[in-house]
Amino acid sequence: MRILLASSEVHPYSKTGGLGDSVGALGKALAQAGHQVVTVTPLHRGIRENFANLRRVDWHFNLPMGPRRVDAQLHALDPAPRHTVYFLDQPEYFDRPGIYNDGHGNYADNAERFIFFSKCIVHLARYLPFKPEVLHVHDWPTGLVPLLARHDRQFLPWPDFPRLCLTIHNLAYQGIFPRPAFGLTNLAPQLFNIETAEFYGQLNCLKAGITAADVIATVSPRYAREITTEEYGAGLDGLLRRRRANLVGILNGVDYEEWNTRNNRFLPAAYDTDDLSGKAICKRALQRRFQLPTEAGVPLFGNVSRLVEQKGVDLLIGALEQLLNVPVAMQFVLLGSGAPHYEIAIRNLAARHPDRVAVQFGYDQALAHQIEAGSDFFLMPSRFEPCGLNQLYSLRYGTIPIVRRTGGLDDTVIDATDQFAQANGIKFQVPEAAALMKAVQKALLLFRDARLLARYRLNGMRADFSWSKAVEALELIYAARTAGTK
């Protein structure tokens, strides 16, 4: 099958979070399954310098953006057999310090940037000799693609029109912009209505995609159900209920070639289910890295996260404040960045408890692996979580995840109250600091029982969340060609 994927970020070329990881791994997995795959993404700053094999493609874009036209070029890499990555080269839009913002706020012209990107995706889908059978776009930056593609087909013949798939990685981010941004699409003005792209008088890119796609996927089965409710639907629950027959939840996978404990350049020692001794070495190295006491008998809790409300950072801080005010033996390390008030609160915790709390702000790929391997427990108290990847990494690394029962966290982590023999993590229900604190207290008790602790670890390490299962599910919706036209 010929599949065109499109995303605003694709690991290892660009990444701000799980979207980049997911799309990068998906393209790789689809190609390994025998499909012909093209991935399209912007040429963000740093890609040209970091990938010497990047080549110029004889392709030129000159597309309307409202009353003016914008030019762009194309570059390409071939990371694996049957897989080509195309990079849209438009320096005015994409040669910037960040993908969506500069650290001080979102770019004021994000609507223009990603409307242009969406138009280029449609242009490639129509004119590439590759002629994709499936056009699969991801999240709001490509949300307009299905609507733009259907509009193009109305005015020019498009033989073998592709099946249009949209994956929602996080419904909280919808690409909402003032009404004048719709003019940049060059779509008929009457398409700006409540049934397509209009949302309380503004342009909503993700809503446009939901209305026009053949299939809407989410990154876990539970999240697919949750977003049809008012609590999690972010204002689009009514539309998603109407499109329920076209909505499917497909759990994200993990690239185990990268996230593994046997052959990992980031880890100080290797380990696996047959020999866990290397995990203790990873723990000591992590304690030294953060200048914490190197005590094997003290449970070490880790967190790698964006510091935003969705991730339950307020619950995390509240629980730690209470736990650290009593003489309980525990350590906590964090890697992340986000809202300034959360960063200040965590920095203050580390300053008051330097022998128990340590933090590094920002993102460091090597350190993320080291926290996953060196921690005994991984804290993910998300208020909502479409899929979550860190709990999947934790399971493979023998690090026991502590999660809230929501979205993909509930789909992937097994609590003792779910299935005692298969338990590999600890869950709590209510999004409150007190509930998280009780879950941590359960972890402290579990840590004292060496045999039970080892069983939890081995259960997690033996779980299979490889991309092959996700690819099988996607192949089913890709192959439904008869539903490809509306």
Q: How far is CA 59 from CA 84, 118, 127, 350, in A?
A: 15, 16, 10, 52
pLDDT of residue 485: 42
Identify whether 336 is part of a domain.
yes
Q: Residue 305: name the closest of 329, 339, 258, 264 by CA.
A: 339
Q: Parallel, antiparallel, or unpaired: how do β-strands 300-307 and 331-338 relate?
A: parallel
Identify whether 268 is part of a domain.
no
Cα dihedral 181, 186, 190, 191 sign: negative
Identify whether 53 is part of a domain.
yes
| pLDDT tens-place string over residues 234-269 | 999 999 999 999 999 999 999 999 999 999 999 999
- β-sheet bridge partners, residue 360: 335
Task: Scan for tokens 């003019």, then name that residue.
Answer: 183
Q: Are residues 284 and 225 in the same domain?
A: no
| pLDDT tens-place string over residues 320-342 | 999 998 888 999 999 999 999 99
Q: Let me know: does 379 contact 385? Beta carbons within 8 Å.
A: no
Residue 297 has pLDDT above 70, yes or no: yes
Identify whether 265 is part of a domain.
no
Residue 354 has pLDDT above 80, yes or no: yes
Q: Are residues 247 and 352 in the same domain?
A: no
Overall number of domains in the chain? 2
Q: Are residues 17 and 156 in the same domain?
A: yes
- Residue 19: count of CB within 10 angstroms of its CB: 24
Helix (H, G, I), strand (E, B) or coil at 42: strand
Q: Are residues 223 and 320 in the same domain?
A: no
pLDDT of residue 327: 82
pLDDT of residue 156: 87
State how far the Cα of 125 lies from the Cα of 114, in Å rounded to an integer.
16
Q: What backbone phi and psi angles, to 5 degrees, belong to 133?
A: -85, -25
Q: pLDDT band for position 480 (50/70/90)?
A: confident
Q: Let me know: does 382 contact 318? Beta carbons within 8 Å.
A: no
Q: What backbone phi and psi angles, to 5 degrees, belong to 79?
A: -70, -20
| pLDDT tens-place string over residues 437-458 | 999 999 999 999 999 999 999 9
Q: Are residues 235 and 296 in the same domain?
A: no
Q: Are residues 348 and 361 in the same domain?
A: yes
Q: pLDDT > 70: what percent of the chain?
A: 99
Identify whether 57 is part of a domain.
yes
State how far the Cα of 189 lies from the Cα of 77, in Å rounded to an integer.
38
Identify whether 270 is part of a domain.
no
Over range 353-358, report the average pLDDT: 97
Residue 435 has pLDDT above 80, yes or no: yes
Q: Are residues 311 and 415 in the same domain?
A: yes
- Residue 47: count of CB within 10 angstroms of its CB: 22
∠ CA 354-356-361 to the nearest 5 degrees?
70
Q: Are residues 342 and 422 in the same domain?
A: yes
Identify whether 262 is part of a domain.
no
Q: Are residues 188 and 282 in the same domain?
A: no
Q: Are residues 210 and 310 in the same domain?
A: no
State how far the Cα of 75 lies from the Cα of 72, in Å rounded to an integer.
10
Q: Residue 203: name the closest of 175, 231, 227, 225 by CA.
A: 175
Q: What backbone phi and psi angles, to 5 degrees, belong to 458?
A: -65, -40
Q: Let me know: does 137 contact 203? Beta carbons within 8 Å.
A: no
Q: Are residues 422 and 295 in the same domain?
A: yes
106-122: b or e for each residue (b if 16 or more CB lie within 10 Å)? ebeebbbbbbbbbbbbb
Query: Residue 133's domain is classified under what CATH number?
Result: 3.40.50.2000
pLDDT of residue 358: 98
- Residue 188: count of CB within 10 angstroms of its CB: 10
Q: How far is CA 235 from CA 106, 111, 165, 312, 431, in A?
A: 22, 20, 21, 21, 21
State how far the Cα of 294 lies from the Cα of 300, in Å rounded to an integer.
10
Identify whether 70 is part of a domain.
yes
| pLDDT tens-place string over residues 272-291 | 999 999 999 999 999 999 99
Q: Residue 108: name the closest of 17, 177, 32 by CA.
A: 177
Residue 482 has pLDDT above 60, yes or no: no
Domain that residue 180 falls in: 2-253+468-483
State how far the Cα of 131 lies from the Cα of 204, in Å rounded to an integer.
28
Q: pLDDT band for position 486 (50/70/90)?
A: very low
Q: pLDDT > 90: what percent of the chain?
A: 94
Q: Are residues 112 and 199 in the same domain?
A: yes
Q: What DSSP line would sit under 54-83, residue for residue?
A: -EEEEEEEEEEETTEEEEEEEEEEEEETTE
Residue 370 has pLDDT above 70, yes or no: yes
E strand or H helix at 240: helix 237-242
